[in-house]
Copies of this chain bind each other. A is one copy, B any other.
Amino acid sequence: MRTPRNKACATAAMKQEALDAFRGFLHERSLRSTEVREAIVRAALDHGGHFRVDDLVDRARRTGMRISAATVYRALPLLVEAKIIEPTEVSGEQRSYEAIYGRKHHDHLICRSCKRVVEFELAAFAVLEQEIAARHGFILVDHFHELIGICGNCRAPDNAMRA
C-alpha cells in the first residue's frame, strides 16, 4: 500500500519500491539493470527538491563508483520515462529535475528573490485547462505552471525594517 506523499525525500521502503519499478521498466524494454543505473536512481531519490544534472553526477559518485557524466545523461530519459523523475521548468535557469516517484502532481511557486520553492496543487486549474484545450480541439497531455512571486521574508524581513 502506497500513499502519495508530499515530502521531498523518499523513505527506505519507497526507495526500494521505486528501484523495483525501475527494474521492471528496464526489463519490459529489454534494457539492462545495472549498478550504475541504480546508483543514479538512488541519487535522484535521495536528492530532495530540485537538482541539476551535475548534482546528480556528484551524488551518484559519492557511492565511490566511477560514473561518467555521459552515463548520467544517457540514463536521464529512462528515469523520466519510468516516472522516477520529471524535468522542472524553472524559467531561465539551467535545466533541473525532481524526483516524483510516489508523489502527487504539483506545481511550483517560486520566490524571485531567494529562489525558495513552494509546491502547490489546485484541482480547479485542471478543469480550466481541460476546457481551454477542448475549445481548441486539443486533448490535454500535460501542463507546466509556474508562479513567480516575492515571498514574505524577502518582502519585509523583520531585520530589514529596523536595523
Identical chains bound together, number: 2
Within 8 A of B (CB), among A130-163: 132-133, 135-152, 155
Q: Does the CB pair B129–A128 fall under 8 Å? A: no
B137 touches A128 (CB 8 A): no
CB-defined contacts of A128 to chain B, threshold 8 Å: 122, 124-125, 128
Report the count of interface residues on A (CB-CB < 8 A).
Answer: 35
* Bound Cα distance A132, B129 (Å): 17
- Asked if A111 CB lies within 8 Å of chain B CBs, one says yes
- A102: CB under 8 A from chain B? no
Is A49 among interface residues, defined by CB-CB distance under 8 A?
no
Instruction: List residues of chain B with CB within 8 A of the CB of A149.
Output: 133, 138-142
In this assembly, does A8 line the interface, its C-beta being within 8 Å of a C-beta of chain B? no
> Which of B89, B120, B133, B152 is in CB contact (< 8 Å) with A144?
B89
A147/B120 in contact, CB under 8 A: no
Q: How far is the CA of A89 from the CA of B93 in the complex (A)?
A: 11
Which residue of chain B has its CB nearest to the CB of A112? B141
Q: Is A92 an interface residue (CB 8 A)?
A: yes
Residue from A138, A141, A150 whose CB has the most chain B CB atoms within 10 Å = A138
Check if B151 sits within 8 Å of A136, measured CB to CB: yes
Q: Mark A residues whose CB is within 8 Å of B.
A: 87, 89, 91-92, 109, 111-112, 118, 120, 122, 124-125, 128-129, 132-133, 135-152, 155
